Structure 1
C-alpha cells in the first residue's frame, strides 16, 4: 500500500444503506482493496494484502495468528449492503465473494462481489475520491462513514439531512440511541472530533429545529489539506502509483494562472469532472476565464469556494437546458455605468449552493423552472448584445 493511493466509489455506494454495518477493521480492509483498483481496470482482480500489512492496518498486537485472520475474513464475507436504484429498485450484495490465505507466502487474496462492478470500475461521473491515508488512522466506524459522506458533499460545501436519514447512513441500528442527545454524544460528536483531528476535512454543524426538537443536521464542510495525515510506506504488493496524467498537467497550467490560491489534485479532479460535462473541449478555456475573473474581482474573499459554487450553478443551468459561458464576465472596476447586467443573475450570488437532503418533486420542478428562466434571460441578453454589435 502507498499513502497516495486513492479510494474511488460511485456515489450510490457511499449513499447505500448499511443494514449489516462493517466494523472499523472491515471498513479498512474493503477501502484498502478499493484503493488498489486502477481507473483503466475493466474487471475485478484478486486484491492481495500481506499479513504484515493486514496486522499493521488493523492494529493487531504482535504477529497475527492464523485463526484471528480467518475469523476476521470470515466475518467480512458475511457483511452485505443495500444499494437503492434510481428506478425504485434495490440491490443487496455481499462486499466480498472470496478470501484465500496463501500460507507459504504470508498473503491474503480477497475478491469483490461481481455485483459491485458498476460502483467501483470504469467510473466516469458521480463518484467520490479521497486518499486512503485519511481513513486508515480513524478508529471508529462512524468516523469513516461520516468522512465518506462529507467527501461526497465537499464540492458543495454543505449537506443537510434528517436525524433518521443520518442514523440510517451511519449504520446506527433503529433502536440504538433513540434520543437525539444520546445519538449526538455517542455517534455524531466523537465522529466529528476524530474526522476534524485526523483527516483533510474541517466540519462544523448546525442543528435544524422544529420548535424545541432537533429534526435535522446541516453540515458545513471545508477542505483542509494541511491536516492530511501521511502514513509511512508499508510493503508494496499493489499496482504502481498512477502516473502524472493530462488532468495533472491541466491543473499545473491553471495553478500558474491562479493568484493567491492553488488547486490540489483531489479538489481539482472533482471540479474538472463537473466542468467537463458542461463545456467538453472548451473546459480549459472556460476555467481560464473564470480564474482570470477571480484574480481581478477584489470582492471575492474565498477564491476556491467561489469557483466551486459558480461551476455548481452553471451545472444546474446546463441541466435545465441553458447555455453557459464565462466569456462575458468582467471585474467590478472594469464594468461601465449601467452595465451591471454583464454579470448574469445566476452568477451574482456569493453564497455557496445549498442542496436539501429531502427535496420534494414540487420544489424540484420549481427549481427547474427557475433555472430555465435564468437561462432564457442569459440567451436573450446575448442575442441583444449581438444585435447591437
Structure 2
C-alpha cells in the first residue's frame, strides 16, 4: 500500500472537546478540509478550502467512485451538520456555549473533480490564529480507521499526549459523542463504541492505548485511558543486513524540539513539523 502523505490537522481544544455526531464519511471530508486551513494564519471569512478526487483517493485509499460519492453526497450531509462548542471562551468571555454549523457554503466544481468548502464564521476562531490550547496530528494516523467514534476518541487522547493518560466521566464522553439515548447499557456502550474504537486506534494509529473503568457502587462513572507512542519495530541484531541498514531516527524529545524549533513557533507546532521531517527521512541533524 502506498505511504500516506504527512498532512496535518490542527484544531482548538475547544473543538476537540465539542459535542457533535458525524458519520465516518462526513468526518473524513471534514478532516481533509481542516487540513487545508492555515492554523496560524489570519481569521478570514469566506476562504475556500479545495478538495479534489485525487486528494480523497490518495489519503484514504478509496476508489474513484467512492471518492466521488464523498465529494458529492457526503458534502451535502456535512452542510447540514452542526456542532456545540463549550466555553469558557477567551475571545468571548460572556458566552458559555456556541452552536453553529461547520460549513457556510460548498462550491462544487464537477468539471474539475473537486469542491471547495467555506467554514462558518463562528468556527474560524477555533481553526485559525491558534497560538495555544490546540491539538495537531497527522491525518494518516486516522485515515485507515473505519469508525467515526475511533477518530473522536483518538483526538481526545492525542490532546493529552504529553500526559500519557486521561480520565473522563462517562456522562461527559457520551455527551461529546452526542449519543443521546443510544447504548444506555454500559455493556452495549463497550461493545458498540468503546472496544471497537480502542481496537482501531491500536491497529491503525501511531498510539497504543488501554483503558480501565471506575465504579461508584455498581455503576461505571468514569474511564481512564493510558496511552503512548508505538515503539519502532526492533531490528534483527543477530543477522544484520548492511545493505538494508537505515540511519537511526532521532526521537522527538523536549531537548530535540528546543534545539530545532524555529523562531515564533509554538512547542506543539515544532513537534508536529519535526516529526513530519523525521518520517520523511529529512530530520535536522
Q: TM-score surpassing 0.5?
A: yes
1:139 matched to 2:139? The reply is no
How many equivalent pairs are there? 240
Match among 208, 213, 217 for residue 207 of structure 1: 213
Provide structure 1 residue ranges, at least 5 long, that are not aligned to the other structure.
Answer: 228-246, 256-262, 274-389
Which residue does 1:24 correspond to in 2? 24
2:232 and 2:197 map into 1 onto residues whose CA distance is 20
Which residue does 1:182 correspond to in 2? 188
Q: Deviations over 1:195-217 (max 9, x none)?
A: 01111111111210122332211
2:57 and 2:199 map into 1 onto residues whose CA distance is 26
Deviation at 1:144, TM superposition (A): 0.3
**Taking structure 1 as reference, are residues 66 and 211 closer, same or farther at Cα in structure 2, changes over 3 Å only?**
closer
**Taking structure 1 as reference, are residues 252 and 72 closer, same or farther at Cα in structure 2, changes over 3 Å only?**
closer
Contact 1:96 1:110 in 2 (8 A): yes
- Give the secondary-structure state (helix, strand or coil) at the position aligned to 1:104: helix
State which drifts further: 69-78 or 129-138: 69-78
2:7 and 2:70 map into 1 onto residues whose CA distance is 27
Calculate the aligned-residue CA RMSD, in Å: 3.1
Match among 153, 158, 161 for residue 151 of structure 1: 158
Contact 1:79 1:94 in 2 (8 A): yes
**Taking structure 1 as reference, are residues 61 and 126 closer, same or farther at Cα in structure 2, changes over 3 Å only?**
same
How does the TM-score come out when normalised to structure 2?
0.74
Higher helix proportion (structure 1 or 2): 1
1:167 and 1:66 map into 2 onto residues whose CA distance is 32
Which residue does 1:129 correspond to in 2? 136
Contact 1:201 1:225 in 2 (8 A): no
Which residue does 2:224 correspond to in 1? 218
Higher strand proportion (structure 1 or 2): 2
Higher CA-based Rg: 1
Provide structure 2 residue ranges, at least 5 long, that are not aligned to the other structure.
Answer: 234-251, 272-285
1:66 and 1:205 map into 2 onto residues whose CA distance is 38
1:96 matched to 2:103? The reply is yes
How does the TM-score come out when normalised to structure 1?
0.56
Q: Deviations over 1:315-342 (max 9, x none)?
A: xxxxxxxxxxxxxxxxxxxxxxxxxxxx
